[in-house]
A = this chain, B = another copy of it.
Amino acid sequence: MDSAERLIESARELLWERGYVGTSPRAVQERAGAGQGSMYHHFRGKPDLALAAMRRNSAELRAQAEAQLSSGETAFDRLGTYLLRERDPLRGCRVGRMAMDPDVVADETLRQPVRETFDWLRGRLTEIVAEGVAAGELRAGLDPSDTAAAVAAVVQGGYVLARAAGSRQPFDEAVRGAMGLLDAARPATG
């Protein structure tokens, strides 16, 4: 693994742990075992390196989510696979975390990978809910787009509750709660 690669990987980790504001080029270099000169040779500066790291984080998240969202027979199963997948709630979401960072949100370029990731996720969830409704598996009154946003929000909000509590319990409760509500929206049981 060359220097540029190690710098990106280190930036990925630090952005996840400490956010954009809390991550310094110095700290990234140190973790990567690279010097100042190396970093500024490969990247224009902090925003440039962070962008490369964030794009990789986004791609990774999307690949994982897609795997879960396409796994399961029914729409309800696929939503369940996504919601109940094993996560580390106290670590939070490596992409969603960036949305709380003032310097990321203020910069259109830096925000782009974050925006695209969640646009895609909500779109994908919307499709699945719509399939469920079309198949009569979820009640007809359910708005696919709204329901999809709620599902995505439960996961992101679950991270907030878990980190606030210092325990994964609120996260687990929140996703179970979402599953319970989705279950209530099944005509067969509702």
Contact = CB atoms under 8 A, between A and B. Distances in A.
B122 A145 contact: no
A5 interface: no
A102 B156 contact: no
Interface in A150-183: 150-158, 160-161, 163-166, 170-171, 173-178, 180-183
Nearest to A152: B161
Contact of A163 (B17, B19, B99, B141): B99
Interface residues of A, number: 63
Q: Which of A111, A118, A152 has the most CB of B within 10 A?
A: A152
A170 B18 CA distance: 25
A59 interface: no
A177 B157 contact: no
Contact of A100 (B149, B155, B163): B163
Contacts of A80: none
Interface string A44-55: 000000000000
8 contacts: A141-B184, A147-B177, A147-B181, A151-B177, A152-B174, A153-B158, A157-B157, A157-B160
Interface of A: 17-19, 21-22, 92-93, 95-103, 105, 111, 114-115, 117-119, 122, 139, 141-143, 145-158, 160-161, 163-166, 170-171, 173-178, 180-185, 190
